[in-house]
Copies of this chain bind each other. A is one copy, B any other.
Amino acid sequence: MRKLRMGMIGGGMGSFIGDVHRKAAAIDGMIELVCGAFSSTAEKSLASGKALLLPEDRCYGSFEEMILREKALPETLRMDFVAIVTPNHMHFAPAKMALENGFHVVCDKPMTLTIEEAKILEQLVQSTGLLFALTHNYPGSPMVKQAKAMVENRDIGTIRKVQVQYLQGWMATAVEDADNKQAAWRVDPSKSGVGGALGDIGTHAHNLLEYITGMQVKELSADLGRVGKGRILDDDANILIRMENGAKGTMSLSQIAVGEENNFAIRIYGEKGSLEWHQENPNELITRWLDQPKKIFTPNGHGLYPQALAASRIPSGHPEGYLEAFANVYKNFAIHLNAFLTKTTIKTPDYPTVSDGIRGVQFIHAAVESDQQNAAWINM
């Protein structure tokens, strides 16, 4: 194996998520950042690239320029894949162009603004055979892997109830009017799409629910809040869920829940046992049982499935966090990409792909549609 070469689109200085992607990609030493189109102007992009210790000639003024010029480089130099870390409205075009020009793609979520765009990307992935990772990071967490494996192995039996909450407070005041770039584009439908909190955090909640349960949400009924003065998009959502097997549940999302930091939690209740996981303390999986005391699993601790063990780097009791979970998406993508490049056959590593991207966009649209009909049930 050689280090895989990453070109970044977006993520200039001051960007939260660009920095997260770079650190996540770096942790395991399998990927190096070789180039980038970091900002909307060539000047800013160059400044960001220099701060990232890149050579000037690999700092591009636009993603189009980057894709075309990298394509012209010798194979031993040019980037292997792009990482798209722009606001939502800028995911589709670069992803499409990258795929069309032979580059693999890592793309932030939600994948696109519309279901149509999402389907175009899906078709491109299928027709090109290129790899596509969607950076839902929470499935990368070791205890989430354990939860999924416990469901798959039927440790908790048939699922009968679910509960998901994703609560933040950072938009409780009019931060979009202050100097908060992220808030500004998140409240702007032209950049965020039809969903606000739905797109930012709701897609994570939905994705994790389908990931752990191995089932799809069949229908939902959504009552959205637009609490911040003048906001067009939702900053709060209260949703009833029906899963494909008949299990019911609730989803509570908010970005105006004062003082909540990133309180993302999921509870899954089966016939024989139940699972509870909290993102803010990710190194515990709380399990409950019909006839035994509560048991708490930990990364690299006792009684784990191989999937969970594979997702931990360090001994139990040494906490791994958000970046390590995020890095697991990059790591599995890198393992896959290396196998692709070396034409090695392996069991496909577990990371979110273009089909997760479609589900996410469908979720946003279903919730918005339901809300427009006073929380009518919408089939997904």
**Pair B374/A377 contact, Cβ less than 8 Å:** yes
The CB with the most chain B CB atoms within 10 A, among A53, A170, A319, A321, is that of A319
A324 at the interface (CB under 8 A from B): yes
CB atoms of A283 and B283 under 8 A apart: no
Checking B165, B227, B261 against A316 with a beta-carbon cut-off of 8 angstroms, the contacting residue is B261
For A173, what are the chain B residues with a Cβ–Cβ distance below 8 Å? 290
CA gap between A267 and B270 in the complex, in Å: 25
Give chain B residues whose Cβ lies under 8 Å from the Cβ of A117.
Answer: none
> Which residue, A172, A293, A320, A322, has most C-beta atoms of chain B within 10 A?
A293
The interface-forming segment of A86-94, A99-107, A237-245 is A237-245
Contact call B227/A160, Cβ cutoff below 8 A:
yes
Which chain B residues lie closer than 8 Å to A318 at the CB level? Answer: 261-262, 321-322
Q: Which of B19, B161, B236, B301 contacts A293 (CB 8 A)?
A: B301
Contacts of A240 in B (CB 8 A): 221, 223, 238-240, 375
A165-179 vs B, CB cutoff 8 Å, 1 = contact: the mask equals 101111011000000
With A26-B27, A29-B33, A375-B377 known as contacts, the answer to whether A298 contacts B260 (CB < 8 A) is no
Contact with B along A257-293 (1 / 0, CB 8 A): 1111111000101111110000111110001111111
A296 close to B298 (CB less than 8 A): no
Query: Could you tell me the distance in whole angstroms from the C-beta of A223 to the nearest C-beta in chain B?
Result: 5
| In-complex Cβ contact of A281 among B225, B294, B319, B324 (8 A) | B319
Q: Are B259 and A274 in contact (CB under 8 A)?
A: yes
Quick check: is A62 within 8 A (CB to CB) of the other chain? Answer: no
The answer on a CB contact under 8 Å between B317 and A320 is no
| Chain copies in complex | 4
| CB 8 Å contact bits of A317-335 with B (1 = contact, 0 = none) | 1111111100000000000
Contacts A29-B22, A291-B302, A377-B374 given; indicate if A223 touches B242 (C-beta within 8 A). Answer: yes
CA separation between A321 and B280, bound complex, in Å?
Answer: 11
With A238-B241, A290-B172 known to touch, is A315 a contact of B223 (CB < 8 Å)?
Answer: no
Q: Mark A136-155, 1 if CB is under 8 A from B, else 0.
A: 00000000000000000000
A320 to B322, CA, bound (A): 6
Which A19-33 residues have C-beta < 8 A from chain B?
19-20, 22-23, 26-30, 33
Determine if A261 and B317 form an interchain contact, defined as CB atoms under 8 angstroms apart: yes
Any chain B CB within 8 A of the CB of A44? no
Residues in B neighbouring A28, C-beta threshold 8 A: 23, 26
Q: Is A297 an interface residue (CB 8 A)?
A: yes
Q: Are B377 and A236 in contact (CB under 8 A)?
A: no
* A240 vs B262: C-alpha distance when bound (angstroms): 22
Q: Does A181 contact B (CB under 8 A)?
A: no
Please give the distance in Å from A343's CB to the nearest CB on chain B.
Answer: 19
In the complex, the answer to whether A27 meets B29 with C-beta atoms within 8 Å is no
Confirm or deny: A248 has a beta carbon within 8 angstroms of a beta carbon on chain B. Answer: yes
Q: Is the CB of B294 within 8 A of A272?
A: no
Q: Contact partner of A254 among B161, B221, B252, B301, CB < 8 A?
A: B161
Q: Please give the residue numbers on chain A whose beta carbons come within 8 Å of chain B beta carbons, in ascending order.
A: 1-3, 16, 19-20, 22-23, 26-30, 33, 52-53, 156, 160-161, 163, 165, 167-170, 172-173, 221, 223, 225, 227, 236, 238-242, 248-252, 254, 256-263, 267, 269-274, 279-283, 287-298, 301-303, 313-324, 374-375, 377
